[in-house]
Amino acid sequence: MEPAPAKAKPQGRLLVSTPLDAKDELEERLERCVGIVQSLTNGLSEREANDALTANVCKGQQQHEEVCLGLFTLVLTEPAQAQRCYRDLTLVNRDGMNVVLVKINQILMEKFLKLQDVPRTQLVWLVRELVKSGVMGADGVVMTLLKQIAASSTSCWSRSISHYRPFTWVLKSGMLIAMSVYTYLRLIVDHGAPNLLPLRQKEVDFCISMLREKFMECLIIGRDLVRLLQNVARIPEMELLWRDLLHNPQVLSPQFTGVLQLLTARTSRKFLACRLTPDMETKLLFMTSRVRFGQQKRYQDWFQRQYLSTAESQSLRCDLIRYICGVVHPSNEVLSSDILPRWAIIGWLLTTCTVRGQGLRWSI
């Protein structure tokens, strides 16, 4: 018996793939667009190239999309040309960068973990540029990016992303400020290891500056802010903040009347979902909506193996439980069916924790 030889699949420029992975349609599309752009500009001077691209873009929506996505992909895959391609992109784009934002969102939601290192770094750079240019809708993309960062806090690359200083971008939007403070306050807890302390200090500095200068925006978070601050209260700067919070609220903001005001403010589901990557959410929602009670063991094992197998990841359990309680609201139809109930998932999360006495804050 001879094995059938595996079909050779050329590695794309954007995503990491193995011979097992099916060809990625998005990647293929984007690489086709690169081909189109290159065929239009090959051998031309910068000026001529720009004219050629502009002329093509005017031909119609499809050509516009192809050129924009081609330039976008070049930004991701060719760092040396990124500045120039981005500039070209801003010159030829006719829809307020919407076509690019949509693709970025798609990549962030579906493909982020599979991005190769260069495109990933470039993507973060590009998002920064978009925010700096004041592109409308860029903050939505930043939030998705933040989510990915928050949820993968224990992986090496995300630490390097944090180094990337997303901090200044966020000042443009109250929601972004709230999201980043929520995210980084959460990350601080996970970054207690000695080798991560410099990183943690940056996160602390950022959070303190936001809390002290933009407190009313941070208030958007709601009562969960108190919980988050409790978890970091031992840190000196945070301790000082707590004193003001409790005894001197006006220092933080004239409109802030005190902790009670914070405690009575509900926290939006958006924040609870912050710590979960889109992939985690997809899988949890799949479990709570499609998997029948009694059939869940394998799914639990797979989820556990992927997301809950390291010592650092045990703190994720709290966030998952919080998410299930606060965000997952099955319809009556599902509730009355034999679909896996939420209490069963929570039970699984509680009973399979491998770290004893971690002081997990189960308070919800």
Partner 1 sequence: MATPSNETLFLIKDVKPGSKNLNIVFIVLEIGRVTKTKDGHEVRSCKVADKSGSIAISVWDELGSLIQPGDIIKLTRGYASIWKGCLTLYTGRGGDLQKIGEFCMVYSEVPNFSEPNPELLAQANQQNKSGKPDQNQRGNSPPNQNSGTSAPPGNGAMPPFANNNNPPSGAPRDPAFGNVGRPNGRSPGNGAPPVSVSGPPAAAKSSVTISNGRDPRRAKR
- Which residues are near partner 1 by CB under 8 A? 1-4, 6-7, 18-22, 282-283, 286, 290-291, 298-299, 301-303, 306
**For the chain, how far is it from start to end, CA to CA, in angstroms?**
58
| The Cα angle at residue 38 between residues 34 and 41, in degrees rounded to 5 | 140
Complex with partner 1: residue 6 or 260, whichever CB lies closer: 6
Q: Tell the smallest beta-carbon distance from residue 295 to partner 1 (Å).
A: 8
Complex with partner 1: residue 4 or 80, whichever CB lies closer: 4
Complex with partner 1: residue 160 or 313, whichever CB lies closer: 313
Q: Which two tokens stand for residue 97?
A: 């960068």
Complex with partner 1: residue 3 or 10, whichever CB lies closer: 3
Query: Can you tell me the distance from the alpha carbon of 284 to that of 73, in angstroms, rounded to the nearest whole number?
Result: 32
User: Which residue shows structure tokens 């029948």?
Assistant: 292
Complex with partner 1: residue 61 or 306, whichever CB lies closer: 306
Q: Tell the smallest beta-carbon distance from residue 17 to partner 1 (Å).
A: 9
Count the neighbouring beta carbons within 10 Å of the beta carbon of residue 13: 17
Backbone angles phi, psi at 229, to 5 degrees: -70, -35
Q: Tell the smallest beta-carbon distance from residue 3 to partner 1 (Å).
A: 3
Q: Tell the smallest beta-carbon distance from residue 290 to partner 1 (Å).
A: 6
Complex with partner 1: residue 250 or 282, whichever CB lies closer: 282
Query: Can you tell me the distance from the alpha carbon of 184 to that of 168, in angstroms, rounded to the nearest whole number?
Result: 14
Query: Can you tell me the distance from the alpha carbon of 65 to that of 67, in angstroms, rounded to the nearest whole number?
Result: 6
Q: Tell the smallest beta-carbon distance from residue 196 to partner 1 (Å).
A: 29
Q: Tell the smallest beta-carbon distance from residue 276 to partner 1 (Å).
A: 14
What one-character DSSP code corresponds to residue 177? H
Q: Tell the smallest beta-carbon distance from residue 56 to partner 1 (Å).
A: 34
Q: With H, G, I as helix, E, B as strand and everything else as coil, classify residue 42.
A: coil
Q: Which two tokens stand for residue 40?
A: 């239009």
| The Cα angle at residue 121 between residues 118 and 127, in degrees rounded to 5 | 135
Backbone angles phi, psi at 151, to 5 degrees: -80, -20
Q: Which two tokens stand for residue 310?
A: 């390291």
